[in-house]
Amino acid sequence: MNNNEYLWVEALNKALKSNKKEAFSRYFQLATVNAERLPKVRTVVFRGMNNDGCSPLIISDTRSAKTEQITQCSSVELCWYFPFSREQFRIMGHATIYSADTTVDAQSACRARVWQQLSHQAKAQFFWPAPGSDRVDALPEEQVDVMPNTFQVISIRPSDVDHLILSNPQRRLVSRFVEEQWHVNAVNP
């Protein structure tokens, strides 16, 4: 297949658009590896694309296990299923954490932009006790106007994308980023 005929990010954007009415289209599963080399998967909320137009963004708490796992091994995989259009994207890549310690201007700007787009409830969770700690019923008053150091954005830079289309006829397109360009191969589903 000619590499100019198919670009996975255009297919993903089309799937996002055609499934936009469904709230669940904003969620995907993210897999990391813990210190014992065991896979850990969780559902996360899609927060848009990075400035490059192809790196999905998510948010996380610096105190979460996810942060430690990504710090130890930046290789991740996400799986995104769109029931309306009946297609799945499995995206492998490397995660980069944009934290309060970020010194790269573009990363700091991205972190600030994502923070501003969050709801009050989403911002409030970063002022709570650490994820996984004992439950506290009386939560502190949140000052959500100020971005806390516990807030971080994670950008996932894709290296491999497996796009499975379950409509008739079924198709599967595997894209790999090699030598600064995307190469795509149609394979049997």
Percent of the chain with pLDDT over 90: 79
**Upstream peptide bond of 169 is cis (omega within 30 degrees of 0):** yes
Q: Which residue has the higher pLDDT, 84 or 142?
A: 84
CB 172 within 8 A of CB 187: yes
3-state secondary structure of 24: helix
Q: Is the dihedral of CA 66, 71, 77, 81 positive or negative?
A: positive
Element (H, E) at 97: strand 87-98
Predicted confidence at residue 5, as pLDDT, reads 52
Residue bearing tokens 């005929």 = 5
CB 97 within 8 A of CB 72: no
CB 172 within 8 A of CB 165: yes
Q: Is the dihedral of CA 176, 109, 95, 57 positive or negative?
A: negative
Q: How far apart are CA 85 and CA 175, in angstroms?
A: 20
Predicted confidence at residue 135, as pLDDT, reads 82
Predicted confidence at residue 93, as pLDDT, reads 98
Percent of the chain with pLDDT over 70: 93
Predicted confidence at residue 176, as pLDDT, reads 97
Predicted confidence at residue 1, as pLDDT, reads 42
Predicted confidence at residue 129, as pLDDT, reads 87
CATH no., domain 8-128+146-187: 2.30.110.10
Q: How far apart are CA 69 and CA 40, in angstroms?
A: 9
Predicted confidence at residue 138, as pLDDT, reads 66
Q: Domain ranges in the chain? A: 8-128+146-187
CB 19 within 8 A of CB 83: yes
Question: Is the pLDDT assigned to residue 13 strictly greater than 80?
Answer: yes
Q: How far apart are CA 55 and CA 102, in angstroms?
A: 18
Average pLDDT for the chain? 92
